[in-house]
Amino acid sequence: MTLDLIKYLKGGDLRSNAKAKELATLIETQYDFNALFHFLHSKDRLLIMRAADVLEKISRGHPNYLWPHQRDILHFLKTAKHKEFKWHLAQMVGRLPLTPIQRLEVSDVLTSWVTDSSESKIVRVNALQALYDINKQYHEREGEIQELIRNLKKEKIPSLISRIRKLTSS
């Protein structure tokens, strides 16, 4: 499988996903997932974005595929610069079995993304979702999440308001 991965990831620009959706259906094992994960270490923003997109999609059904890569994901979370990578990291990090210290570190990064008005809206929405999901699982920052939601409502950003409605209605 590794020989063919690049052909599914390259081509086009950041607005397209090339053959990423097709690739997601072809990744069937941890071994294949690991080979794809290696592209997150690339210097090529396009390859990183596409690989992250496919990895995120696959991890919805196989969150355990992420577990061997936990250290890298937590590192990327702290060092990611590009919005396309951040929004996929936010989606994946909530699927990891985090220690209390890791949850604190992850929550701090995600909170900084959510509260940074210069971040893209999709990064902010996905970071909010991840914070909510992590809190729902561990019940450690309930008050902080509610305060964050109150403050975000004041910004009157449609995508954030829509996500808040979805989160608070469930």
Distances (CA, A) of 82 to 4, 9, 60: 25, 17, 22
Q: To the nearest 10°, the Cα dihedral for 134, 51, 41, 30?
A: 70
The residue to which tokens 């250290």 are assigned: 71
Find the mean pLDDT for residues 35-63: 95
Q: Where residue 69 falls among pLDDT bands split at 50, 70, 90? A: very high
What phi and psi values does residue 75 have, to the nearest 5 degrees?
Answer: -65, -50
| Mean pLDDT calculated for residue range 67-78 | 98
List the Cα angle 53/55/59 in 5-degree steps: 120
Q: Are 120 and 90 in contact (CB under 8 A)?
A: no
Closest among 57, 91, 137, 157 to 165, alpha carbons compared:
157
Q: What is d(CA 13, CA 74) in angstroms, rounded to the nearest whole number?
A: 27
Element of type H or E holding 146: helix 142-155
DSSP string for residues in 40-81: GG-S-HHHHHHHHHHHHHHHHH-GGGTGGGHHHHHHHHHH--
pLDDT at 41 over 60: yes
DSSP state for residue 107 in the 8-state scheme? H
pLDDT band of residue 17 (cuts 50, 70, 90) is: low
SS3 at position 90: helix
Q: For 47-64, what is the mean pLDDT?
A: 95
Report the pLDDT value the prediction gives residue 12, as an integer from 0 to 100.
Answer: 66
pLDDT for residue 139: 83
Read off the pLDDT band of 4 (50, 70, 90): confident
Indicate whether 85 pLDDT > 80: yes
CA distance 39 to 30: 15
Phi, psi of 17, deg, nearest 5: -110, 15
